[in-house]
Structures are given as C-alpha cells and as structure tokens.
Amino acid sequence: MSRFDRLLGTDLDGRPVDDVEDVIYDALEDPRHRERVPGLVELMNDREAPERERFLACVALTTWAEPAGYETVIACARDPKRAPWYDILIDRKFSVDNTFAQLSLAVGDSDDLAREKGTWELRTEAFRALVGIADREYFDEKLADLLDRETVGTLLDDIREAVGRGVTQLAERRPQSFDLTTQLVDLAAAVATVDGPMAQRLAQNVLSQDTSPRALIHAVAIVRRSGTSDARAFAEYLSSVGDDNVRDQVRQALMSDDDKKTQTPNNG
C-alpha cells in the first residue's frame, strides 16, 4: 500500500475508501485523525511526491485545523501561481485554477476543530491571506460565503483593501480571466451582517464599474443581510440599474426583511 493510500485512501479503521473527502470529513469527529498528521505533513512537504497528493494532504491538514495546513495556505497565498499544485484543478466555466477555492473551503470547514485545538487565530490569518488575493485569484463563490461573522469583523480592512484593488482593475478595464465583479460583490456582501453601510459602499464602488446581471443578483444579498434603513436606499439603487429579475429579487429581499420586523416574540 502506498504512503498516500495509508494516509488518505483508508478510513481510520484501516478500510479502503474510494473518496478522499470521506476520510477527511469523517475524521472531523474522531481524534484518531491526529495519528496521521505527521505523515500528512511529510507528504505535503515532499517535493518529489505527486502534486495532487501534496494538495490533498494540505486540504486534510487544513480541514483538521492543523497549524501546518494553515501555514501552507498562507505561504501559497504570498505567491499564488508558484503554489506547488497550482492549476491541478481547473474550473470548468472559466478555465482557471480552482485550488484556492478548495483551500478556502478547507479553512472554512475547520471552524469547530480550530476552537478545539486552539488554532483559531491561525485560521483567521489563513482567511486573511486568501482575502488578500481575492482580487486576482478565483474562489468559485466559496470564499465570501465561508467567512463567519467573527472573522469578517477582524478582516474588515483586508476586505476593503481587496475590493479597492479589484475596483481599480475594473476601472482600468484590465482583461479578467473570471467574473471578478461578482467575486468582489460577494466579498462586500460578507460584510453586510457586520457593517451594512460599509457593505453597500463597497458594492456600489464595484457596480459603478460593471453592472452585470449576475453581480447585481449577488448584490441583493446585501439588502437581505443588512437589516438597516440604508438597505432600502441600496435596494432602490439595484432596482434602478437592474432588470426585472433583479427587481423581483430585491422585492423578495425587502419582503423578507419586513416579515422579520413584524414578527412579535412568543411569550407563551
């Protein structure tokens, strides 16, 4: 049996499995996964090992909230295209690298173990590193949705800066290899539950350069999440620049918000 099969090709009871994800996620609630950490670290750092195996080792370590996983994500984000496994996963729609999207999912899914293992700060730093490249690397609609409220609050400045860099690219009409506009709008929407007005400003900065139907639909999430009076002004803006589908989505978001406000507590 190969090293990879021993580490990620068998479950924690030693039974062969077809899907590596089954091994990774089934291990989240089984402390025996720690026994495989040293071997996975060795595999991840082995320059002679296949890129796919190194990548999956990193995914496992990151999902399991291990410092070595987070630190590797941070290191790869410093020079994304030189990551040892860059381009081993290609997005079908845009034909661009999809490894950072999968790493962001691993960081997100590590939340419970990060608290248990005391590696939450490293998890936050890994997210910070990924947000820092969100203006140039593709995240397949994952990164922004994975940012929990606590992490968003810590990374507000980083998100603002990443969106700002992206807006500059859009303003300069630089060729884009993926839908950067929507990715930036999603980052802005992640801010909405923490700072509604800031989320709206960031999104409007993006949409001032490009009001694609897809980006506008994604921007409706800000109306839904903000829960502030300014959200209505932003909703009116989206309705004015969007098509019938956007306006319908805005109406539904506003109705949902009104329903929340009219609900009365049940005191028994």
Give the C-alpha separation, 117 to 67, whole Å.
10
pLDDT score, position 259: 60
Question: To the nearest whole percent, how much of the chain has pLDDT over 90?
Answer: 92
pTM for the structure as a whole: 0.94
Interval 247-257 mean pLDDT: 90
**How many other C-beta atoms can be found within 10 angstroms of the C-beta atom of residue 193?**
18
Residues 200 and 128 in one domain: no
Residues 12 and 78 in one domain: yes
Residues 131 and 181 in one domain: no
Give the C-alpha separation, 124 to 126, whole Å.
5
> For residue 12, what are the domain limits?
1-146
Give the C-alpha separation, 103 to 118, whole Å.
20
Q: How many domains does the chain contain in total? A: 2
**In-domain check, residue 7:** yes
Question: To the nearest whole percent, how much of the chain has pLDDT over 70?
Answer: 96
Phi, psi of 124 (to 5 degrees): -60, -40
Residues 131 and 21 in one domain: yes
Answer whether residue 91 shows pLDDT above 50.
Answer: yes
Q: Which two tokens stand for residue 65?
A: 């909230």
Burial class (CB in 10 A: 0-12, 13-18, 19+), 81: exposed
Average pLDDT across the chain, whole number: 95
Answer whether residue 95 shows pLDDT above 70.
Answer: yes
Those residues whose C-beta lies under 8 Å from the C-beta of residue 27, and which sit 6 or more positions away, are: 12, 33, 36, 60, 64
pLDDT score, position 113: 98
Answer whether residue 250 shows pLDDT above 70.
Answer: yes
pLDDT score, position 205: 98
Q: Indicate the pLDDT class of residue 176, thresholds 50, 70 and 90.
A: very high
Residue 65's region, left for phi above 0, alpha for psi from -120 to 50, else beta, is left
pLDDT score, position 230: 82
Give the C-alpha separation, 68 to 267, whole Å.
49
Residues 139 and 211 in one domain: no
Helices (H), ranges, 36-155: 37-44, 51-63, 67-78, 99-109, 111-117, 120-131, 143-146, 149-154
**In-domain check, residue 83:** yes
pLDDT score, position 183: 99
Q: Indicate the pLDDT class of residue 1, thresholds 50, 70 and 90.
A: confident
Give the C-alpha separation, 202 to 196, whole Å.
10
Residues 101 and 190 in one domain: no
Are 65 and 114 in contact, with CB atoms under 8 Å apart? yes
Phi, psi of 10 (to 5 degrees): -135, 150
**In-domain check, residue 267:** no
Answer whether residue 237 shows pLDDT above 90.
Answer: yes
Interval 168-196 mean pLDDT: 97
Residue range 186-212, pLDDT digits in tens: 999 999 999 999 999 999 999 999 999
Name the domain boundary from 131, 146, 161: 146
Name the domain boundary from 129, 146, 163: 146
Answer whether residue 263 shows pLDDT above 50.
Answer: no
Distances (CA, A) of 221 to 93, 135, 199: 23, 20, 10
